Structure 1
Amino acid sequence: MAEQLTGLADDRALLGRTSTAERVSDILRSRIADGYFPPGTRLSEDGIGGALGVSRNTLREAFRLLTHERLLVHELNRGVFVRVLTVEDVEDIYRTRALVECAVVRGLGDPPYALESLSAAVAEGQSAATEDDWKAVGTANIHFHRELVALAGSERTDELMRSVFAELRLAFHVVDDPHALHEPYLTRNREILESLQRGDRRAAERLLETYLTDSLERVVEVYRRRVDSAP
């Protein structure tokens, strides 16, 4: 935890003069998503509050916000922990993804579509794979699907899926072989992008449906094996 708190202190400047629970929760959410605080980690009020220079009340409100987003869990007489997902949680995340992401593609309307950010996410993943950085490939994969959702132009949908994707990252951090998990989706993301570039949203939706079905099976398989083998 000492090393984590030292790094967290670097984020103190992001808070500015007025420290709010929302800003603190943004920082902690990003750190959790990046695997800085892995699932099961107990979060120290004194340590994190000191590193960020915020009051106990502000930090507790940030914890409350992240608990509402299902990223943290409060255990009576033990403290606040980064949530460890169940297999049922992972399955529910993918149900939500299928409902939202496929609906976004289905409702895109007539081409051309604004695909610059989607293209950048594909390039980000390919670059990370070249560097053999498979955790970064997983991050790029999340970026791709976040930008796909953003094509709907809905702040509410973006907000909903921000939480869903952050939860998904909790599952990714438990997986012990990110290379095997993420490599197949480099090609699949590119195929979805190419379909949208051609203006064929129906083909893109079919590819996305298959993608999410296969991804669910793969993630649940490796996640169940990893969780079952944990002490």
Structure 2
Amino acid sequence: MVIEDSDVPGLEADRGLVSRKSTAERVAGVLRKRIAEGFFLPGGRLSEQDIGNALGVSRNTLREAFRLLTHERLLAHELNRGVFVRIPSVEDVVDIYRVRKIIECAAVRGVTAKPASFARIKEKVDIGDEAARTGNWKDLGTANVWFHQELAALSGSERVNELVGRLTAELRLVFHIMAEPRRFHERYLPRNHEILDRIEAGDGPGAEQLLMKYLEDAEDQLVSAYADRAEAARAAVAAE
């Protein structure tokens, strides 16, 4: 599968975020955001020509951006084949959630009053509710990613924000393992509201308790999905 011009929806609209003199970091930021929003599927090959044309950047700039995203575990370079969107492993899932528990839970634990960013946090929950109402499960997944980025941002650390931005893009690649995204995302909507209520009340420890259980359940569900896929692959091989 090759990610060609028709498979890079909206990248032309992102051209305003970069220029012909833009840095590779800015280009990487655009692609990272698109990965976090679920536009690129794991295993897809990236076309330098199509993406470069869509963003209006040189091939050298794009290749440097690819190298940056490869370092972040979002892309993978295969000799004589090209650059592909990375396929996360079950070990990646466990490690991602290990980091999320440390960062997000610590961030909400420190809440002692309704935070200044509460409106932004609530907005992400509202966007998720609307996506569910209209049956747009891809947008619901994106809203959920944004919600958790806002939770991590409660730490007040720019370095944490940057780390979580990279981590959530990698996490979105993991979400693609779910054959039925509705079953995965919809069940967490009420729990988003519960966490939001605790944050509004300034109950950091209460929010942390809810969030920890939330992350543990999501991790278990994703690990189980990986196990099911591995079992299906083994069965297919045995049937040949």
Q: TM-score, normalised by structure 2?
A: 0.89
Looking at structure 1, the residues matched to 196 and 13 of structure 2 have their Cα atoms a distance apart, in angstroms, of 36
Looking at structure 1, the residues matched to 20 and 214 of structure 2 have their Cα atoms a distance apart, in angstroms, of 44
Who is 1:49 aligned against? 52
Looking at structure 1, the residues matched to 104 and 71 of structure 2 have their Cα atoms a distance apart, in angstroms, of 22
RMSD: 1.8
The SS at the match of 2:84 is strand
Deviation at 1:106, TM superposition (A): 1.8
Deviation at 1:228, TM superposition (A): 5.2
Who is 2:11 aligned against? 8
Who is 1:117 aligned against? 120
Looking at structure 1, the residues matched to 10 and 30 of structure 2 have their Cα atoms a distance apart, in angstroms, of 12
1:124-145 C-alpha deviation (Å, 9 max, x unpaired)? 1111111111121111111111
1:62-99 C-alpha deviation (Å, 9 max, x unpaired)? 00111111100111222111000001101110000001
Deviation at 1:227, TM superposition (A): 5.6
Residue identity opposite 2:114 in structure 1: P
1:20-79 C-alpha deviation (Å, 9 max, x unpaired)? 212211221122223322100111223322332322211111001111111001112221
Who is 1:209 aligned against? 212
Deviation at 1:160, TM superposition (A): 0.7
Looking at structure 2, the residues matched to 15 and 222 of structure 1 have their Cα atoms a distance apart, in angstroms, of 38
Looking at structure 1, the residues matched to 81 and 140 of structure 2 have their Cα atoms a distance apart, in angstroms, of 35
The SS at the match of 2:83 is strand
The SS at the match of 1:148 is helix
Asked if 1:138 corresponds to 2:102, the answer is: no
Asked if 1:151 corresponds to 2:163, the answer is: no
The SS at the match of 2:6 is helix
Structure 1 counterpart of 2:198, from 177, 195, 218: 195
Does the CA-based 8 Å contact 1:39-1:174 persist in structure 2?
A: no
The SS at the match of 1:97 is helix
Asked if 1:90 corresponds to 2:93, the answer is: yes
Deviation at 1:9, TM superposition (A): 3.5
Does the CA-based 8 Å contact 2:38-2:142 persist in structure 1?
A: no
Does the CA-based 8 Å contact 1:135-1:178 persist in structure 2?
A: yes
Asked if 1:61 corresponds to 2:64, the answer is: yes
1:181-201 C-alpha deviation (Å, 9 max, x unpaired)? 011110111001101212221
Who is 1:183 aligned against? 186
Deviation at 1:151, TM superposition (A): 1.1
- How high is the sequence identity, in percent, across the aligned residues? 55
How many aligned positions are there? 230
Looking at structure 2, the residues matched to 210 and 80 of structure 1 have their Cα atoms a distance apart, in angstroms, of 37
Looking at structure 2, the residues matched to 224 and 70 of structure 1 have their Cα atoms a distance apart, in angstroms, of 21
Deviation at 1:7, TM superposition (A): 4.5
1:158-212 C-alpha deviation (Å, 9 max, x unpaired)? 0011111110000112321010001111011100110121222111111011111
Asked if 1:104 corresponds to 2:107, the answer is: yes
Does the CA-based 8 Å contact 1:12-1:52 persist in structure 2?
A: yes
Who is 2:167 aligned against? 164
Looking at structure 1, the residues matched to 10 and 123 of structure 2 have their Cα atoms a distance apart, in angstroms, of 28
- 5+ long unaligned stretches in structure 1: none
Cα distance change, pair 44–21 in 1 and its aligned pair in 2 (3 A): same
